[in-house]
Amino acid sequence: MHRWNNRYGSRRTRRKKTAAETHAHLESKYNLPPGSYKSMWVAQRGLCPICDDVLVRPHVDHDHVSGVVRGILCHRCNPGIGMLKDSVENLRRAEKYLAHALGTV
């Protein structure tokens, strides 16, 4: 057996999901109506609403308690707000801290 024939399938038969398949998977995972992922993407113009970077490795941002989807963030900002416990107050304190440290206040 060729070394690429592992439990994930052979290199030859494995194929990248189409955008439509990825959208359908995410809509199912986050209980979103069909077409809503693409609508969010278009509304955000394919950009992260926090850092304004192009969404190359997008993450669906959702409330971990209610499950409500808030938007699509980049692979840095989504874990970033999670590390600050999804707290607006923590984000404000982080802003003050960083502005003071950078001497911009």
SS3 content of the chain, % helix, strand, coil (to 5): 40, 10, 50
Task: Tell which residue, 93, 97, 56, 95, has the closest CA to residue 78.
Answer: 56
60 Rama sector, left if φ>0, alpha if ψ -120 to 50, beta otherwise: beta
Minimum distance between the CB of residue 58 and Zn ion, rounded to whole angstroms? 10
Complex with Zn ion: residue 24 or 70, whichever CB lies closer: 70
Minimum distance between the CB of residue 73 and Zn ion, rounded to whole angstroms? 6
Cβ neighbours of residue 49 closer than 8 Å, sequence gap 6 or more: 71, 73
Q: Which positions from 6 to 45 touch Zn ion by CB under 5 A, shown as an x/- string?
A: ----------------------------------------
Residues 45-104 that bind Zn ion (CB under 5 A): 48, 50-51, 74, 77
Minimum distance between the CB of residue 24 and Zn ion, rounded to whole angstroms? 24
Bridge partner list, 59: 73
Minimum distance between the CB of residue 74 and Zn ion, rounded to whole angstroms? 3
Give the residues lining the site for Zn ion (CB under 5 A).
48, 50-51, 74, 77
